[in-house]
Amino acid sequence: MHKPGRHFLQIPGPSNVPDDVLRAIDQPTMDHRSPEFGELGLRALSGIKTIFKTKEDVVIYPASGTGAWEAALVNTLSPGDTVLMCQTGHFASLWETLAKRLGLVPKVIDTDWRTGADLAAIEDHLERDFEHTIKAVCVVHNETSTGCTSQIDKLRAVMDATGHPALLMVDTISSLGSIDYRHDEWGVDVTIGGSQKGLMLPPGLSFNAISAKAREASRTAGLARAFWSWDEMIAANATGFFPYTPSTNLLYGLVAALDRLHAEGLDNVFKRHQRHAEATRRAVRGWGLEVLCKVPEHSSGALTAVLLPQGHSADAFRKVVHTRLNMSLGNGLGRLADKVFRIGHLGDFNDLMLAGTLSGVEMGLKLAEVPHQAGGVQAALEYLSETNPSLDLSH
Three-state SS for 309-361 is: CCCCCHHHHHHHHHHHHCEEEECCCHHHCCCEEEEECCCCCCHHHHHHHHHHH
Q: Does 82 bind ligand PLP (CB under 6 A)?
A: no
Given the rule CB under 6 A, which of 61-69, 181-189, 310-318, 337-345 is the region that contacts ligand PLP? 61-69
Contact (CB, 8 A) for 137 and 118: no
Q: Which of 48, 140, 302, 320 binds ligand PLP (CB under 6 A)?
A: 140
In the bound state, the residue with its beta carbon closest to ligand PLP is 65
Please work out the total of residues on this chain that contact ligand PLP, with binding judged by CB under 6 A: 12
Supply the DSSP string of 220-272, one letter for each residue: H--S--STT-HHHHHHHHTTT--SS---HHHHHHHHHHHHHHHHH-HHHHHHH
Spell out, one character per residue from 305 to 334, where the chain touches ligand PLP: x when CB under 6 A holds, - when not. ------------------------------
Q: How far is the CB of 94 from ligand PLP (least distance, A)?
A: 7
Q: Hey, which residues between 5 and 44 contact ligand PLP (CB under 6 A)? A: 13
User: What is d(CA 295, CA 177) in angstroms, rounded to the nearest whole number?
Assistant: 23
Spell out, one character per residue from 199 to 218, where the chain touches ligand PLP: x when CB under 6 A holds, - when not. ----x---------------
Q: Which of 43, 47, 49, 64 binds ligand PLP (CB under 6 A)?
A: 64
Q: Which of 50, 66, 78, 313 binds ligand PLP (CB under 6 A)?
A: 66
Beta bridge partners of 105: 82
Q: Which of 37, 52, 61, 91 binds ligand PLP (CB under 6 A)?
A: 91
43 assigned to a ligand binding site: no
Strands (E), the chain: 8-10, 57-61, 82-87, 105-110, 134-140, 142-143, 148-149, 167-171, 190-194, 206-210, 290-291, 303-307, 327-329, 340-344
List binding-site positions for substrate.
342
Given the rule CB under 6 A, which residues bind ligand PLP?
13, 64-66, 91, 140, 144, 171, 173-174, 194, 203
